[in-house]
Homo-oligomer: A and B are copies of this chain.
Amino acid sequence: MSNSLEHAGAILTIDLDAIGANYRLLRDRFQGAECAAVVKADAYGLGVEAVAPALARAGCGTFYVALIDEGIRLRRVLEDVDIHVLGGLLPGSLDAFAEYRLVPTLNSLAEVEAWSGVAAGADEAPSADLHIDTGMNRLGLPRDELDLLCREPERLGATSLATVMSHLACADDPGHPLNRRQLEDFTGARAALAGAGVGAGASASLVNSSGIFLGPEFHFDVARPGVALYGGNPLPGKPNPMAQVVRLQGKILQVRDVDTPQTVGYGASHRITRRGRIATVALGYADGFLRSSSNTGSGYIGDIRVPFVGRVSMDLITIDVSAVPQHLIHPGALIDMIGPSNPIDRVAADAGTIGYEIMTALGARYHRVYAGDGA
């Protein structure tokens, strides 16, 4: 649901052409066979019904989601693509995979066996991905279950493995020793599986967005970028090679003159120290603009930085606009909350988090505009 332009407190513009360009940049950089796209969590908050077709127009044919219902929703939008569900097999969910042609990720030996039961009853061997944990300790077969599967490969039954995959924990930190250890463990796991005659025709997949930039030895067959598609920097601390996708413009509701000894907002946490002007903008933490950016975040008007003063409240943010020419500041005027001068990673840093969380928190009350089509 998108509020009307006139009534909304803020305008969220999502550049589908930028997403398409980012997909092609990553695909060109990736030296494996197939660059997929991760569109879980409603395409990182940007709206999967608009984003996934744009990615398909840009050439993407393989998509990853977290939950089955996300896969079902995506299938209703894209009839002919491959859809993989990362979250595994929840009890009571097996039938939906076949019905919507979703490929499950088998994250444990118990799931391998549950799926082999499905495979036994099927006309055609249903495919699945096998997830080997190499250091996240989150999902995926641990070492002992992998060893057991290699000793007893019949546990897979008639399952056809589409992909053997793992997930990097520290890909955004190229110097972290865990990257190479995970690479070695993944290589070892694949060799062990091959030795046991498992997954001969399966693709291998290791890298996320940042992983693509770790170099070709990490690439294997299938890449699974997410955040970089949406403009997040896959190379923290270095210039961002990705096009910016998100612009969020907050509407000014009111402007006021302030002077010492006044305070601003809840808890009177900001003290006015000199004459100035404050604009109140119609979005807040209920719109996903994190409260942790209280007194630390900032907006931009053109290239003039306008700092947040006082606490971010549920529906409102107060901003010091003293530095901006007065004729630019009036009710209805827009302040860039995320934009060319304050990209998503900068907004995230001000809030003490990462761009991913800023995106997935983008709220339901914005007026949403999709620009371009990705092609």
Q: Give the interface of A toward B (CB within 8 A).
A: 3-4, 6-9, 40-42, 44-45, 66-70, 72, 86-88, 90-93, 96, 107-108, 110, 133, 135-139, 142, 144, 169-170, 173, 176, 178, 251, 253-254, 256-258, 262-268, 272, 278, 280, 282, 285-286, 288, 290-292, 310, 313-316, 318, 331-332, 352-354, 356-357, 360-361, 364-365
Contacts and interface: CB of A to CB of B under 8 A. Distances in A.
A356 B285 CA distance: 9
B254 A108 contact: yes
A328 to B, nearest CB: 15
A35 to B, nearest CB: 20
Contact of A90 (B68, B92, B282, B354): B282
A210 to B, nearest CB: 11
8 contacts: A7-B92, A42-B286, A87-B282, A91-B331, A137-B258, A138-B264, A144-B257, A292-B352
A286 B69 contact: no
A138 B318 contact: yes
- Per CB-CB distance, the 7 closest pairs between chain A and chain B, nearest first, are A41-B286, A6-B92, A286-B360, A66-B315, A91-B332, A137-B264, A3-B69
Given A41-B315, A107-B254, A315-B66, A93 B7 contact: yes
A312 to B, nearest CB: 9
Copies in the complex: 2
B90 A251 contact: yes
A171 B186 CA distance: 56
A292 to B, nearest CB: 6
Contacts of A96: 7
For A66, A254, A262, which residue has the most chain B Cβ atoms within 10 angstroms? A254
